[in-house]
């Protein structure tokens, strides 16, 4: 498609979508809406030629004549760590107003992103409402859960991407690796991991653990404090075995250049980075959009009816939704991590995990049902008693 297309980026944050489309070779007008001054400070330094606006509630009816509308809309009411009000919540519900404008103006492409809990909360109510509004407006749409770790960054970050088009086949883009045909699972690196990420703030949860990756970087936690994941380096000297990434390391783990958010106040940088989309996952979609004319239709198999629950991926055909069993990363393409977790820490910096945090985590781990290697507990105890 035309690399000069106008892109309207809503809830732009620090510009994860903008950067991904830019990297994919889109050079047209960028119009961004973001109402948080700290995020706007980053947007205006990183995208000086973009047109920057504030509240999405002030969107003009013609949507700036954009061909592509992107929205990584607030997850505050959808995320398990949030308020759970769902799509009728004040923050996540903003997408409904956006979709009303989409219904009136019919931009060619719409790309949405949010947390996988959107598929489960209240029986997938948010998906039903969003998909219903798009179908009513004559859009064809599909969605796929993608995990950032399969796109070259050392972070596990699963997000649902929904792609809709007025006149084209979005599945040609989102399933172009033909994952549904082969059922092949992507493999991240095949290396023996030398670093393991975990959250010390939620130590008794299995999901807080990662081999060779950090668990999902968060903008906020159930405790309300955005906190860094911790990293265990089993091969390091005892005093260096437990680290937390620097803010520059965190930016790298989201696929941004180190220092990307330096224009924001220090107190907000963690939250801004944790809120953002992982750039390489969106870049993969943007590259598919750019190459659309060369893509062929994909034959999608293994369909399940959505009445059994929203699967991790699916598509709507004539308003009827079918779920698909597909991988969470492309089965073709650049799967190797440019930088291992260890390398990101070495190059971008890290800080020691405090002894207090280590002790707290060790005692929760003892009470948890998380399965772990004995040497992990040995290291935790030895480090905490330094």
Query: Could you list the residues that contact ligand SAM (CB under 6 A)?
Result: 11-14, 16-17, 33-36, 39, 55-57, 72, 74-75, 94, 275-277
Beta bridge partners of 10: 33, 71
- Minimum CB distance to ligand SAM, residue 76 (Å): 8
- Minimum CB distance to ligand SAM, residue 303 (Å): 30
- Minimum CB distance to ligand SAM, residue 16 (Å): 2
> Which residue, 75 or 134, is less far from ligand SAM as judged by CB?
75
- Minimum CB distance to ligand SAM, residue 57 (Å): 6
From 24, 75, 119, 380, active-site residue: 75
φ, ψ dihedrals at 197, nearest 5°: -95, 145
Q: Are 50 and 73 in contact (CB under 8 A)?
A: no
> Which residue, 32 or 384, is less far from ligand SAM as judged by CB?
32
Q: Give the CA dihedral 25, 26, 30, 32, nearest 10 degrees.
A: -70
Q: Are 198 and 342 in contact (CB under 8 A)?
A: no
- Minimum CB distance to ligand SAM, residue 282 (Å): 8
User: How many angstroms separate the CA atoms of 205 and 198, rounded?
Assistant: 10
Task: Say whether 75 is catalytic.
Answer: yes
> Which residue, 78 or 179, is less far from ligand SAM as judged by CB?
78
> Which residue, 109 or 383, is less far from ligand SAM as judged by CB?
109
End-to-end CA distance of the chain: 59
> Which residue, 36 or 310, is less far from ligand SAM as judged by CB?
36
Eight-class DSSP state of 348: H
User: How many angstroms separate the CA atoms of 254 and 258, rounded?
Assistant: 10
User: How many angstroms separate the CA atoms of 8 and 34, rounded?
Assistant: 11
> Which residue, 26 or 36, is less far from ligand SAM as judged by CB?
36
Token duo for residue 139: 């859009």
Which residue, judged by CB position, is nearest to ligand SAM in the bound state? Answer: 13
- Minimum CB distance to ligand SAM, residue 53 (Å): 8
Q: DSSP H helical segments within the chain, as ranges?
A: 16-23, 37-46, 94-105, 125-136, 170-174, 179-182, 247-253, 266-275, 279-290, 341-348, 355-367, 374-384
How far from 215 is each of 208, 212, 231, 331, CA to CA, in Å?
Answer: 6, 10, 10, 22
How far from 122 is each of 75, 90, 115, 201, CA to CA, in Å?
Answer: 14, 16, 14, 27
How far from 88 is each of 52, 69, 160, CA to CA, in Å?
Answer: 27, 22, 19
Which residues are marked as active site? 75
């Amino acid at each position: 498609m035309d690399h000069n297309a106008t892109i309207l980026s809503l809830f732009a944050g620090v510009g994860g979508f903008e950067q991904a489309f830019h990297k994919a070779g889109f050079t047209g007008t960028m119009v961004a809406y973001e109402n948080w001054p700290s995020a706007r400070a980053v947007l205006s330094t990183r995208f000086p030629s973009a047109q920057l606006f504030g509240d999405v509630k002030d969107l003009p009816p013609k949507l700036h004549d954009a061909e592509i509308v992107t929205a990584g809309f607030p997850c505050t009411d959808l995320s398990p760590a949030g308020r759970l009000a769902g799509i009728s919540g004040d923050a996540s519900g903003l997408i409904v107003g956006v979709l009303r404008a989409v219904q009136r103006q019919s931009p060619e492409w719409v790309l949405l992103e949010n947390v996988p809990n959107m598929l489960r909360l209240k029986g997938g109510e948010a998906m039903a409402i969003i998909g219903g509004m798009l179908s009513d407006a004559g859009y064809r749409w599909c969605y796929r859960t993608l995990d950032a770790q399969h796109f070259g960054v050392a972070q596990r970050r699963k997000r649902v991407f929904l792609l809709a088009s007025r006149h084209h086949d979005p599945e040609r883009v989102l399933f172009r690796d033909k994952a549904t045909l082969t059922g092949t699972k992507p493999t991240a690196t095949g290396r023996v991991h030398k670093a393991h990420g975990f959250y010390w703030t939620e130590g008794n949860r299995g999901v807080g653990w990662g081999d060779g990756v950090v668990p999902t970087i968060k903008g906020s936690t159930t405790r309300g404090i955005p906190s860094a994941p911790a990293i265990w380096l089993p091969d390091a000297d005892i005093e260096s075995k437990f680290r937390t990434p620097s803010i520059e390391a965190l930016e790298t783990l989201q696929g941004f250049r180190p220092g990307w958010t330096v224009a924001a106040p220090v107190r907000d940088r963690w939250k801004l980075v944790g809120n953002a989309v992982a750039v390489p996952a969106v870049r993969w979609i943007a590259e598919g959009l750019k190459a659309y004319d060369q893509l062929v239709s994909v034959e999608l198999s293994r369909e399940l009816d959505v009445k059994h629950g929203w699967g991790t991926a699916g598509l709507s055909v004539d308003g009827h939704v079918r779920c698909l069993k597909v991988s969470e990363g492309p089965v073709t393409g650049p799967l190797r991590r440019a930088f291992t977790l260890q390398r990101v820490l070495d190059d971008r910096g890290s800080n020691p995990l405090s002894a207090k945090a280590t002790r707290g985590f060790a005692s929760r781990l003892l009470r948890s049902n998380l399965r772990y290697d004995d040497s992990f507990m040995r290291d935790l105890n030895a480090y905490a008693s330094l």
